[in-house]
Copies of this chain bind each other. A is one copy, B any other.
Amino acid sequence: MLEVKGLRKVYRSGSREVEALRDLTFTVAAGELVCLVGPSGCGKTTLLRCIAGLLGPTSGEVTVGDRSGLAIVFQEYGRSLFPWMTVRDNVDLPLRQKKVPKARRRELVAEALTAVGLDGTESAYPWQLSGGMQQRVAIARAVAYEPSILLMDEPFAAVDAQTRADLEDLVRSLWQRLGMTILFVTHDIDEAVYLGQRVLMLSASPTVVQDELTVDLPAERDQLHTRADPRFVTLRTRVYSQIQAAKTGTASGAAGELSSADR
């Protein structure tokens, strides 16, 4: 369970003052998979940092079920890997912290790396990998952790289309298998609709929740058929127009009505 109430965050450094989040209120039920879209610089990363407890809000409140089972995939994947550790150790370390028995750890690490298509790179250092590979290491680390809450910040930005599709399916299957709560930030509207049970749309700065959309597609999805589904196309068009409205600053009223009628 995840609850954000009246969240406001202002960055102050020297004379510069940026209101990254104005007033966010929403909840994510336990076991829900929610996607978050919004224009660049609107405060998505800031929001995830607040939820993970890495950043204190300026005002408002964030309530998270149990932070100890929380994993996060950072947008800055390259900088979030420990350069002094091999790929294997990077994935393994959080598990060791969690005191997972050794044999199980080995299993989890191997599985996770295979799932993201990184067999054979276990003993390489992160900086010996391509950008997309680094990003997949960060994903593998979160996945192997088997978190109860998973925050992902544009986790597939650096991988190719095919790998992306595979990873999307990986996330959905993990979610279904482990029943975790997932908050997934993406810029790809199709991806948001394909993955989520719900899509939260943030406005441009000053940031509020502009709209939300329940994705009433069947729970069993697959790349070919789901994306071809006319309902899918309708939904993605709706998100697209909402986001465009957000960018151009159109009041969210009308569009909000539209989509809420849809739920």
Using CB atoms and an 8 Å cutoff, list the residues of chain A in contact with chain B: 11, 13, 16, 18, 37-45, 75-76, 78-79, 123-124, 128-133, 136, 154, 157-164, 187-189, 240, 243-244, 247
Selected contact of A161 from candidates B45, B132, B157, B187, CB within 8 Å? B187
- CB atoms of B187 and A160 under 8 A apart: yes
State the CA gap A243–B165 with chains docked (Å). Answer: 13
- A75: chain B residues within 8 A (beta carbon): 131, 158
State the CA gap A157–B164 with chains docked (Å). Answer: 13
Residue of B nearest to A40 (CB): B132
- A11: chain B residues within 8 A (beta carbon): 128
Selected contact of A41 from candidates B76, B129, B189, CB within 8 Å? B129
Tell me which of A136, A161, A189 has the highest count of chain B C-beta atoms within 10 A of its own C-beta.
Answer: A161
Q: Is chain A's binding surface mostly helix, strand, loop or mixed?
A: mixed
With contacts A16-B128, A130-B45 known, is A40 near B159, CB below 8 A?
yes
A16-B123, A161-B187 given; name 19 further pairs at CB < 8 Å: A11-B128, A16-B128, A37-B160, A39-B162, A39-B163, A40-B132, A40-B158, A40-B159, A40-B160, A41-B132, A45-B131, A75-B131, A78-B79, A79-B79, A157-B157, A160-B247, A161-B189, A162-B247, A163-B247
Residue of B nearest to A159 (CB): B40
- A158: chain B residues within 8 A (beta carbon): 40, 75, 154, 157, 187
What is the copy number of this chain in the assembly?
Answer: 2
- A132: chain B residues within 8 A (beta carbon): 40-41, 187
Residue of B nearest to A243 (CB): B162
State the CA gap A44–B16 with chains docked (Å). Answer: 38
- CB atoms of A164 and B136 under 8 A apart: no
Residue of B nearest to A125 (CB): B13
* A-B pairs, 4 with minimum CB distance: A40-B132, A157-B157, A41-B130, A160-B187
